[in-house]
Chains A and B, each alone.
Chain A
Amino acid sequence: QKEVEQNSGPLSVPEGAIASLNCTYSDRGSQSFFWYRQYSGKSPELIMFIYSNGDKEDGRFTAQLNKASQYVSLLIRDSQPSDSATYLCAVNSGYSTLTFGKGTMLLVSP
């Protein structure tokens, strides 16, 4: 059974701070890793993906992958109230469909 674990939160950070969202996965054969953002009442949207160990930066977002530890994280720098949403970690082993975590709710206070 492939599992993707996330802390449900809420994670509360003040505006301008760094938000750190974490995710662990059980399938060592996992090859690609995704972060989706879901605003309340809306559908998920892809914000980052990472395939190789290390860091990948895109604007204020940095995805980090450590395959040895089976750990993925998403850092959001200079957090804004508009970043308040649920962040879903998703993992793909390459031969099957995505497995999603239950998501971490992020609250950024002005």
Chain B
Amino acid sequence: GAGVSQSPSNKVTEKGKDVELRCDPISGHTALYWYRQSLGQGLEFLIYFQGNSAPDKSGLPSDRFSAERTGGSVSTLTIQRTQQEDSAVYLCASSLGISGELFFGEGSRLTVL
């Protein structure tokens, strides 16, 4: 596609529920990243994919968080048993290889009540 596409754009859920966030990167971009940004805060790195493998998942905050990427394209970030502190904007970005030239999606805003 023309840009990085994320869905849903907004998600409100109850504490304890599971959520899935989807990212469709720019066609041909082999690297895909997940970040999250809480209100007024910087970007917190979560996980990085090169193709379908995740060489760096050091930023995942707990084992409630997982991510996968299939076909070297679409990625899904899953948060199980959501907590209020999970409320944030989850940003996906893609790039050609591992470089700093990231192209970000518009984000998925997650609110956990």
Contact = CB atoms under 8 A, between A and B. Distances in A.
Interface of A: 32-34, 36, 42-46, 49, 88, 90-92, 94-103
A94 B99 CA distance: 7
B100 interface: yes
Interface string B31-64: 0010100000111010010000000100000000
Contacts of B42: 88, 100-103
B107 A92 contact: no
Query: Most chain-A Cβ atoms within 10 A of its Cβ — which of B33, B91, B102, B106?
Result: B102
Interface of B: 33, 35, 41-43, 45, 48, 56, 91, 98-107
Nearest to A95: B98
B100 A44 contact: no
Contacts, number: 51
Given A32-B99, A43-B105, A92-B100, A99 B45 contact: yes
Contact of B56 (A49, A88, A91, A96): A96
A92 B99 contact: yes
Contacts of A34: 100-101
A46 B101 contact: yes
A46 B95 CA distance: 12
A32 B41 contact: no
A98 B106 contact: no
12 contacts: A32-B99, A32-B100, A34-B101, A46-B100, A46-B101, A88-B43, A90-B100, A91-B100, A94-B98, A100-B42, A100-B45, A101-B42
Contacts of B105: 43
A44 B104 contact: yes
Contact of A97 (B41, B45, B91, B106): B45
Given A97-B56, A98-B100, A43 B43 contact: no
Given A42-B106, A43-B107, A46-B103, 9 more contacts: A32-B100, A33-B100, A34-B101, A43-B91, A43-B104, A46-B102, A92-B100, A94-B98, A97-B33
